[in-house]
Amino acid sequence: MPFFPAALRHRAAGFAAALLGLALLAGCDAQRIAELQPGQSTEADVRDRFGLPENTWPEPDGGHTLEYNRQPAGSENFMITIAADGTLVAVRQVLTQENFARVQAGMSMAQVRRLLGKPAKTTHFALSGETQVDWRYLVQPDTRMLFTVVTGNDGRVLRTQNGPDLNAVQNQGGGR
């Protein structure tokens, strides 16, 4: 049996536990969503299953949208729309190629945040005056990706980019 230092064994065990937790969380979300019925389920049903939302967004018709964030470790953000009468309208996973395509140069970060939910990470680069805002997402079946919005000092979108999530296990490599 090869010798592995205790620190390495401990780190590997922690990593395995984190992956298991993420898998269970993803499975729990699918089950929670399956239990909800548009037009029948209520906001109380949503909150019973998902807990307190990250944010609540008002809608023009008097309803509102509850944001349930799975960043920074997860790969989904859910927007759950509630009608003015308190019933469920829709459950949407918003980290999609269609929504990424809606992010355009000149948009404010508030508009992007409303569209995609809370990001996984924000990094400001003082010399360039740019800020990179990242969302982790999954391309089926198991490719972890990163969508990045780059803003200027005014907080408006300059450009976006898509690429592999270099922090994902599949992209870490195994060589020396």
In this structure, the strands spanning 121-125 and 130-139 are antiparallel
Higher model confidence: residue 168 or residue 53? Answer: 53
Reported as a pLDDT band with limits 50, 70 and 90, residue 149 is very high
94-176: CATH, from 3.40.50.20, 3.90.79.10, 3.30.1450.10, 3.20.20.150: 3.30.1450.10
**C-alpha radius of gyration, the chain, whole number:** 19
Reported as a pLDDT band with limits 50, 70 and 90, residue 113 is very high
Reported as a pLDDT band with limits 50, 70 and 90, residue 161 is very high
pLDDT tens figures, 16-51: 444 334 443 445 788 888 899 999 999 999 999 999
Say whether 94-176 and 1-93 share the same fold: yes
Tell me the mean pLDDT in the region 126-145.
93
Give the whole-angstrom CA distance, residue 154 versus residue 131: 10
**Which residues 6+ apart lie within 8 Å of 65 measured at CB?**
56, 57, 59, 79, 80, 81, 82
Tell me the mean pLDDT in the region 67-74.
90
Residue spans of the domains in the chain: they are 1-93, 94-176
pTM of the model: 0.78
Cross-strand bridge partners of residue 122: 133
pLDDT of 87 > 90? The answer is: yes
Write phi, then psi, for 99 (nearest 5 degrees): -70, -35
**CB neighbourhood size of 113 (10 A):** 16
> 1-93 is classed in which CATH architecture?
2-Layer Sandwich (3.30)
